[in-house]
Structure 1
Amino acid sequence: MPAITADTLTLPRLPELPEAATAWRKVHKVVRAAKFLEGEGFQVRRPFPSLDLAMADPFLLLDHMGAVEYGPGEAKGAPWHPHRGFETVTYMIDGAMQHTDSIGGGGLITDGSTQWMTAGQGILHNEVPPQDLVAAGGLFHGVQLWVNLPRALKLVQPRYQDIAATSASLIASDDGGALVRIIAGELDGHAGPGSTYSPITYLHATVSPGARLAMPWPRDFNALVYVLSGEGTVGPESRPLAEGHLAVLTAGEALTLQAAPTPTPWEILILGGRPINEPVARYGPFVMNTRQELSQAFDDYQAGRLGQIPATHLSPADDQS
């Protein structure tokens, strides 16, 4: 995985937590990601919202794209579509994705970089593989996370954050056996570069075979662990967790995880946030608080009030419509 890496022996270390005196979070539930086709027909693995939304709040959706080795002409994307009422966070681990939007934002996301799009009051965008990847094929592996916005911020101005791989804050486990990339939020006083409206923490950890990763975690945040690749265990009860599975953890003040003694590292996402605890009305690309607001979003989209596809990006089919 070409996501940013470093010598863990040179990084700040997480504290060593006392075993008996620490309120470790246990595993409440394990969810296996279901498979779906998105956009022009690319497959994703989606562990939620198949589970109860309240268990993931403020997160709405997690799509694991790949890892897949595309042949020439096989790479697919998601053509122009609208969003309102939430944020999309696209983290590319291998390969590349090109974003373009109706307000002039977007760009190329590649090899460990992140693009954070706040749809807010409304935006149109597309997500497509760059032409060189389409022509030649290649490895593609990424994750898209949807983060809800509270009622008071549903209609904020759209914005983009381009987070380079080298911008992520790096920290090591207490013994140096795990590397943690902080994309957003804080871990033991170390802050990631992502600016968030909803208080969250978003981490990508590489845990060496057999190594343990223990970390403090805010008591008012929930905690989710999703496996990108490899195998390991979660919680003081050592619940097994393999690729494509998500663990939802109970309340507590710290997390403990351990990679299996396999030849390859355990690659995991660790997510948590302070629940918004508001009604959620969602349909397709819109996430609001009420059905009436959903209807208004569709009306605004049909009337062109969420933006227009830039003329330079119109296809013949778009132009005819």
Structure 2
Amino acid sequence: MPAITVDDLTVLPRIKGPGLGDQPRPVRSVTAAPRGYEGEGFPVRRAFAGVDLRDLDPFIMMDQMGEVEYAPGEAKGTPWHPHRGFETVTYMIDGVFDHQDSHGGGGTITNGDTQWMTAGSGLLHIEAPPEWLVQSGGLFHGIQLWVNLPRASKLTDPRYQDIRAGEVRLLTSADAGALVRVIAGSVAGHDGPGATHTPMSLVHVSLEPGARIDLPWEVEFNALAYVLGGRGTVGIEGRPLESGQTAVFGPGDFLTLAADGAQESRSPQLDVVVLGGRPIREPIAWAGPFVMNTKSEVLGAYEDFQKGRFGHIPAG
């Protein structure tokens, strides 16, 4: 997993261990992500399947896209589709993805880049591998996270944030055994580059075999950890966690991740996405690409989409 890495972790700022009186977050549940297909048929794992929406708030869903090695002609994306009422966060770990929307936004993201799209009031959107990648084939791996918007921001103007790999805040654990990439939010006083409507943090942690980290976490936020690859444990209770599983944590000041001493050659590290945010605690009416507060608002979104109020697909 290339994302962004550092040859010598000892040069990075270190995250101090828990302070006196800091409470560990207990592990409330562990679930396994089922496999499925999205868009034109690219494989995904539904990271939050089986997790109660009350434990996810302010998040809606997250897909692990791939990891898959495409042969020439196999790479797939999504057709044009609408969004309203939330944000999509696409973090590309391996490969290349092109984005375009009906408001003229978009771009290309590759290893370690993130595209943060606030759909807000509504737009049409397409995601696809570039034509050269379709022709040549190659590795494809990333995540897409849906972040809810509070009622007051549901109809905000659409916008993009392109967060390049080199902008991500890099930290390490107290013993320099883990690389912590802060994409959004703050860890131990170190801020990531992503600007969010809903207070939240998004972090990608890579732990060397046998390494452990006590990751400080905002007490007002919920906390979830999804394993992209490798094996290890979560919580001070040492609950086993492996690729494709999600841990939900209870309240506390920090959460614990530890990598098994032996890892498979295909996943030489324990790679985990850790995320959490301040719960919005508002009603959710969710239907397909629309995440609103009431059923009537969802029906209004469908009507606006059908009447072309989300914009039009650009020529060519």
* Smaller-chain TM-score bracket: over 0.9
Shift of 1:11: 0.4
CA contact (8 A) 1:47 1:63 kept: yes
User: 1:162-241 to 2 correspondence within 5 Å?
Assistant: 162-241=162-241
Shift of 1:22: 2.9
Structure 1 equivalent of residue 310 of structure 2: 306
Structure 2 equivalent of residue 292 of structure 1: 296
Per-residue deviation, residues 205-228 of structure 1 (Å, max 9, x unmatched): 100100001121111100000000
CA contact (8 A) 2:58 2:280 kept: yes
Shift of 1:49: 4.7
Letter in 1 for 2:69: E
User: 1:153-164 to 2 correspondence within 5 Å?
Assistant: 153-164=153-164
Q: Secondary structure at the match of 1:48?
A: coil
Shift of 1:300: 0.1
CA contact (8 A) 2:229 2:270 kept: yes
**CA distance in 1 between partners of 2:207 and 2:109 (Å):** 24
Q: Taking structure 2 as the reference length, what is the TM-score of the superposition?
A: 0.97
**CA distance in 2 between partners of 1:50 and 1:214 (Å):** 26
Per-residue deviation, residues 122-174 of structure 1 (Å, max 9, x unmatched): 01010001111100101100000000000000000000000000000000001
**CA distance in 1 between partners of 2:285 and 2:148 (Å):** 11
In structure 2, the gaps of 5 or more residues are none
**CA distance in 2 between partners of 1:44 and 1:10 (Å):** 36
CA contact (8 A) 1:14 1:174 kept: yes
CA contact (8 A) 2:210 2:261 kept: yes
Structure 1 equivalent of residue 45 of structure 2: 45
Q: Identity of paired residues, percent?
A: 58
User: 1:76-115 to 2 correspondence within 5 Å?
Assistant: 76-115=76-115
Letter in 2 for 1:284: G
Q: How many residues align?
A: 311
The 4+ residue runs of structure 1 with deviation greater than 4 A are none
User: 1:251-290 to 2 correspondence within 5 Å?
Assistant: 251-263=251-263, 264-290=268-294
CA contact (8 A) 2:150 2:198 kept: yes
**CA distance in 2 between partners of 1:56 and 1:94 (Å):** 26
User: 1:108-127 to 2 correspondence within 5 Å?
Assistant: 108-127=108-127
**CA distance in 2 between partners of 1:180 and 1:250 (Å):** 21
CA contact (8 A) 1:212 1:259 kept: yes
Q: Secondary structure at the match of 1:28?
A: strand
RMSD: 0.9
Q: Secondary structure at the match of 1:181?
A: strand
Shift of 1:50: 3.3
**CA distance in 2 between partners of 1:156 and 1:198 (Å):** 13
